[in-house]
Chain A
Amino acid sequence: DGGITQSPKYLFRKEGQNVTLSCEQNLNHDAMYWYRQDPGQGLRLIYYSQIVNDFQKGDIAEGYSVSREKKESFPLTVTSAQKNPTAFYLCASSMARVANTEAFFGQGTRLTVV
C-alpha cells in the first residue's frame, strides 16, 4: 500500500543529544513537509521541500535540520539547540507538480526529552 511511514513511533532523547526522525513515502510525491504539534497549538511548519536537494525553512525552523537526498525520504534532525523538543512530529507529502492537491500525513513520532 502507498503511504507515508514515520519511525520510530516513540523516541526518547537525553538533554544535549541530537536525534533524527525518519520519514519515507512511496506515493511518488515531490513535496514533503515536517510539522510540529503541541497541545492547543495546532500544526506548525518546521521545514518543507518541493524537490530533491532543496528545502525551505518554515515558521519554527530554529533548532532543526533536514536533508532531501532522495525523493522518497525527508529525515528531520532535532538538534541540541532546540530548547523544547518534546512534541508530536508529523511528516506529510503532496504532489508538488499538481496544484490543488491535499497533503497526506504519516502516523507521527512522539519525541520526549528525558
Chain B
Amino acid sequence: AQSVTQPDIHITVSEGASLELRCNYSYGATPYLFWYVQSPGQGLQLLLKYFSGDTLVQGIKGFEAEFKRSQSSFNLRKPSVHWSDAAEYFCAVGAANQAGTALIFGKGTTLSVSS
C-alpha cells in the first residue's frame, strides 16, 4: 500500500537550533517527493520537491531535504530555526512520470519554536 509516515506528531525546537523532520514513504512506483508547510487556517505552500538527480534538494526559507532511497526517507532539515517557522509540515509522495496523479500526504508534524 502506498503511504507516507511522519513519525513525529509534534516537535519543539529552540530558536536558532537545528531542525530535522522525518518522513518515510512506501510507494510501488518511482516516487517524487515534496514537503509542504501550512500556517493555521491557511492553504499549503510548497517548500521543496525531489524528482531526480542530486539527492540533496534546496528549498525556500532555508530548508533542505535529503532523499535516501535505501531508507525510503525524505527528511527535512534547517540549520537554524526562526520563530516564524512554527507551523505544520507535511511530507507528500506522488508517482513520477504519471502526470495528474494525486499526492499522498503524511499526517503532518507540528513545529513549535521556543525562545
Contacts and interface: CB of A to CB of B under 8 A. Distances in A.
Interface of A: 4, 6, 30-31, 33, 35, 40-45, 48, 50, 58, 88, 90, 92, 94-108, 110
Contacts of B98: 99
A43 B90 contact: yes
B11 interface: no
Q: Say what secondary structure dominates the interface of chain B.
A: loop
18 contacts: A4-B43, A35-B105, A40-B108, A42-B106, A42-B108, A43-B90, A44-B105, A45-B104, A99-B96, A99-B98, A100-B32, A102-B34, A102-B46, A105-B45, A106-B43, A107-B43, A108-B41, A110-B41
A53 B44 CA distance: 26
- For chain B, which range describes its interface: under 10, 10 to 19, 20 to 34, or 35 or more residues? 20 to 34
Interface string B20-47: 0000000000001010100001111110
A108 B43 contact: yes
Given A42-B105, A100-B51, A107 B100 contact: no
B105 A100 contact: no
B43 A42 contact: no
Contacts of A100: 32, 51-52, 96-97
**In the complex, which of the residues B4, B34, B49, B103 has the most CB atoms of chain A within 10 Å of its own CB atom?**
B103
A95 B99 CA distance: 7
Contacts of B52: 100
Contacts of A102: 34, 46, 49
